[in-house]
C-alpha cells in the first residue's frame, strides 16, 4: 500500500505527486480531469497499491485516458433522471418513493459514475428556496412513502444541515422511510461522527445504503464507521456496481458480499454499470454478470446475494436481470448445480396443487 496521503487529491498533479499514477500519464490525466471531477480521499489513496498497474481501487478512482472516448450508446443522463424531475432536486420515477438530491458534490469521484456529468466540486446543491419547493412537493403527494437522499453524496453535508433536512422530512406524516445512499463511510469514515449519526435519526425508519465495490474497501475504520450507524439503530444495506477489472470474478464478488454481511450490511443491489460517458472500459456484458450471479447462487449464503439490476436507459426504472432458473414454459427449474428438475405448477384455476419432482 502507498504511504499515507495527508490531503484530498483533487488534480492530476496531486495524483502523480502522490505516486498513484506514473508521471508520463500526467497530460492524459489532466485532460480527463478537465472533463470529469477528480477527488481521492486519504482513506482511498491509502488503499491503492501503486506497484499494481491493475489495482482495483485505482481503477475506480484514478482517471483513465479511455474516459475521453464516448460511445454512441452512452448518455449524459443514462438513467433518465431529468425526465422524472417535477421540481429541482426531486426525481419521482416510482409511485411510492422519490429521490431527493441535496448536493452535487461527493467525497470521492468514481470513474464510472452514472451522474458524472452532474456531480463535482463547486456544482452546488439545493439552495434553501429550492429545498422548500422540493419538500413542499413531497408534502403534497401522500403516495410518497419513502424519500431517498442521494446526490452527489448527502453525507458530505454537515451534521447540522442533515439534521434539519431529516427533521423536516420526518415531519411529513406520510413519509415513513428515509433512505440515505452514500460512499462516505468508505471514502471518509472519519466523517461518520456521533453528531452525524444523531442527525440521521428520527422517529421514521432510516436506512443507510453503502456503496462499496471491492472487499479491500471494508477496512477496520470503515467497519467501525458502519458499526456506529448500525449500533445507533440505523440498518444498513449495500449497493455495488459490477465493474470490469474491479469485482468481475467470483472470488472478489463473494469476498465483498460476505464481508458486507459480516459487518451486518445486507447486500441489496448489484448494478449493471450504466451507459455513462467514457465508461465502456469498466462495463461487463450482462451475460457475464448473470454468469457471476449463477456462480454465487447456492455457493454463497442467500444472505449475501444482492439483486442484479439494470437501470433501463431513458428513465424507465430498475429491473432485475436474472439469471432465470425457471424454463420459459415453467415446466422445469434449474438447481445451483445446473441440473434441471420437472416442476408441476399450480393448475389454471390457481389452486394450490404444486408439486416438485426430480428428473
Ligand atoms: S459517490 Fe456516487 S454520485 Fe459520487 S461520484 Fe461516486 S458514484 Fe457518483
Q: What pLDDT is stored for residue 173 in this prediction?
A: 98
Interval between CA 110 and ligand 1 midpoint (Å): 5
Residue-level pLDDT, tens digit, the chain, 359 residues: 444 445 999 999 999 999 999 999 999 999 999 999 999 999 999 999 999 999 999 999 999 999 999 999 999 999 888 889 999 999 999 999 999 999 999 999 999 999 999 999 988 889 999 999 999 999 999 999 999 999 899 999 999 999 999 999 999 999 999 999 999 999 999 999 999 999 999 999 999 999 999 999 999 999 999 999 999 999 999 999 999 999 999 999 999 999 999 999 999 999 999 999 999 999 999 999 999 999 999 999 999 999 999 999 989 999 999 999 999 999 999 999 999 999 986 554 444 444 444 44
36 CB under 6 A from ligand 1?
Answer: no
Q: Select the CATH number that applies to the domain covering 82-320 from these four: 3.60.40.10, 3.20.20.70, 3.40.50.670, 3.30.390.10.
A: 3.20.20.70
Closest ligand 1 atom to residue 107 Cα is 1
Beta strand 146-150 with 265-272 is unpaired
Protein residue whose Cα sits closest to atom 7 of ligand 1: 113
181 CB under 6 A from ligand 1?
Answer: no
**How far lies 196's CA from each of 135, 155, 190, 229, 271, in Å?**
21, 8, 10, 9, 28
153 CB under 6 A from ligand 1?
Answer: yes
The cell 416510482 sits on which residue? 94
Protein residue whose Cα sits closest to atom 5 of ligand 1: 109
Interval between CA 302 and ligand 1 midpoint (Å): 27
Interval between CA 108 and ligand 1 midpoint (Å): 7
- CA pair distance 333, 324, nearest whole angstrom: 9
The cell 482513506 sits on which residue? 43
Protein residue whose Cα sits closest to atom 3 of ligand 1: 152
119 CB under 6 A from ligand 1?
Answer: yes
Mutate to test the pocket of ligand 1, among 38, 99, 104, 109 (most ligand atoms within 8 A of CB): 109
> Which of 269, 345, 338 lies closest to 307, judged by CA?
269
Q: What pLDDT is stored for residue 169 in this prediction?
A: 98
Interval between CA 322 and ligand 1 midpoint (Å): 25
Protein residue whose Cα sits closest to atom 8 of ligand 1: 113
pLDDT tens by residue, 186-226: 999 999 999 999 999 999 999 999 999 999 999 999 999 99
Per the CB < 8 A criterion, the answer to whether 58 and 19 are in contact is no
Residue 216: partners with Cβ closer than 8 Å, 6 or more residues away: 47, 56, 57
**Could you give the maximum distance between any two Cα atoms of the chain, in Å?**
70
Phi, psi of 228 (to 5 degrees): -65, -40
User: Looking at the annotation, which residues are catalytic?
Assistant: 93-94, 97, 106, 110, 113, 115, 274, 311, 318
**No. of helices (H) and no. of strands (E), the chain:** 11, 12
Q: What pLDDT is stored for residue 351 in this prediction?
A: 43
Closest ligand 1 atom to residue 152 Cα is 3
Q: Which residues of 73-93 are buried (b: 16+ CB within 10 A; e: fewer)?
A: ebbebbbbbeebbeeebbbbb
183 CB under 6 A from ligand 1?
Answer: yes
Amino acid at each position: 500500500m502507498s504511504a499515507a496521503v495527508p490531503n484530498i487529491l483533487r488534480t492530476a498533479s496531486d495524483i502523480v505527486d502522490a505516486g498513484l499514477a506514473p508521471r508520463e500519464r500526467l497530460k492524459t490525466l489532466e485532460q480527463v480531469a478537465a472533463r470529469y471531477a477528480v477527488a481521492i480521499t486519504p482513506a482511498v489513496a491509502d488503499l491503492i497499491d501503486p506497484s499494481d498497474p491493475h489495482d482495483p481501487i485505482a481503477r475506480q478512482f484514478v482517471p483513465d485516458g479511455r474516459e475521453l472516448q464516448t460511445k454512441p450508446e452512452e448518455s449524459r443522463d443514462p438513467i433518465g433522471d431529468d425526465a422524472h424531475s417535477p421540481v429541482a432536486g426531486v426525481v419521482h420515477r416510482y409511485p411510492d418513493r422519490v429521490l431527493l438530491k441535496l448536493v452535487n458534490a461527493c467525497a470521492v469521484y468514481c470513474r464510472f459514475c452514472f451522474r458524472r456529468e452532474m456531480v463535482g466540486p463547486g456544482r452546488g446543491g439545493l439552495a434553501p428556496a429550492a429545498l422548500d419547493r422540493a419538500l413542499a412537493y413531497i408534502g403534497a403527494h401522500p403516495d410518497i412513502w419513502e424519500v431517498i437522499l442521494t446526490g452527489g453524496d448527502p453525507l458530505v453535508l454537515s451534521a447540522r444541515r442533515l439534521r434539519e433536512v431529516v427533521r423536516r422530512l420526518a415531519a411529513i406524516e406520510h413519509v415513513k422511510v428515509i433512505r440515505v445512499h452514500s460512499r462516505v463511510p468508505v471514502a471518509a469514515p472519519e466523517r461518520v461522527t456521533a453528531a452525524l449519526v444523531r442527525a440521521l435519526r428520527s422517529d421514521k425508519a432510516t436506512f443507510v445504503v453503502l456503496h462499496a465495490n471491492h472487499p479491500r474497501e471494508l477496512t477496520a475504520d470503515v467497519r467501525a464507521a458502519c458499526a456506529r450507524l448500525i449500533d445507533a439503530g440505523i440498518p444498513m444495506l449495500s449497493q455495488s456496481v459490477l465493474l470490469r477489472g474491479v469485482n468481475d470474478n467470483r472470488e472478489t464478488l463473494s469476498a465483498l458480499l460476505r464481508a458486507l454481511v459480516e459487518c451486518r450490511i445486507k447486500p441489496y443491489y448489484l448494478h449493471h454499470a450504466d451507459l455513462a460517458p467514457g465508461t465502456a472500459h469498466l462495463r461487463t456484458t450482462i451475460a457475464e454478470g448473470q454468469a457471476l450471479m449463477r456462480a454465487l447462487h447456492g455457493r454463497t449464503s442467500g444472505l449475501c446475494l444482492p439483486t442484479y439490476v439494470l437501470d433501463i436507459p431513458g428513465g424507465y426504472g430498475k429491473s432485475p436481470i436474472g439469471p432465470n432458473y425457471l424454463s420459459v414454459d415453467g415446466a422445469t427449474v434449474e438447481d445451483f448445480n445446473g441440473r434441471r428438475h420437472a416442476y408441476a405448477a399450480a393448475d389454471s384455476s390457481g389452486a394450490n396443487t404444486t408439486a416438485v419432482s426430480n428428473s
